[in-house]
Each structure stands twice: as C-alpha cells, then as structure tokens.
Amino acid sequence: MAILLTCLLTQQVSIARAQEAPCTPEPSFHQRIGVNVERTDGRTIDSYDAALLEAGWYHDYSVSVAPSRVNGMQHVQLVRATISTANLDGLLGPAVDSNPGALWLLGNEPDRFSQDG
C-alpha cells in the first residue's frame, strides 16, 4: 500500500473525485407506491377506499380497455402467458389503443410453474 501511495505522489497523478450522476425524480412520489388488487367475489379497485393509500398505481391481474383511475392511479396492465393467441389483436389491440403510455407486464410469477412459468 505504501508503495502505491509513493508512486501516486511522486508521479503527480491526479485523483479525481467521482461526479454525482444526475438523478431525475419521479413526477410524483406516488408513482413509487403501488397496490395489488385481488379480484375475487367481483371486487375491483373501486371496492376500496384506495385514495387513502395515496398510491400511484395498482395491479389487478387483468388487461382493461377502460380501467378505473381512482384518485388518478395508473392501472398496470397484465398479459398472462395463458392468453389465447388466436385473436391477439382483437384481445389486446383495443386496450393498447385506449391506454397510451400504460405500463404493461408480460406474465405473472414466471418462476412458478402453476402461474406463467
């Protein structure tokens, strides 16, 4: 270690400090918080007082043309691996067209055989 330090000092090697990387914050801290909605017994995000959570997005294991946007929450679209490919454009096209800029997930729990693995 002393040899390295001596070499650096005698060679007048400049040691530069690391520069901070620019960090663009999320448009809203709410986008960092999301919730999962289990759609059993006909429940949807509208079945809950979701505005209290102040979350920015929710996920309910579905693809929707006109998802609910409770308190401005974004709906995360999920395309399951079990989707029929026979009419893929008909199934996904309207949802894609109606939700520009949406976040799409392809598959759920791909590491689990009984899900989308």
3-class DSSP state of 34: strand
pLDDT-derived band at 10, boundaries 50, 70, 90: low
Query: In whole angstroms, what is the distance from residue 12 CA to residue 15 CA?
Result: 9
Residues 63-77 pLDDT 10s: 999 999 988 899 999
Query: In whole angstroms, what is the distance from residue 106 CA to residue 78 CA?
Result: 6
3-class DSSP state of 74: strand
Domain boundary assignment for the chain: 28-117
Q: Which of 42-51, 64-73, 80-89, 97-106 has the lowest mean pLDDT?
A: 80-89
**Is the pLDDT score of 81 beyond 60?**
yes
Residue closest to 70 by CA, chosen among 100, 98, 47, 89: 47
pTM of the model: 0.69
pLDDT at 108: 85
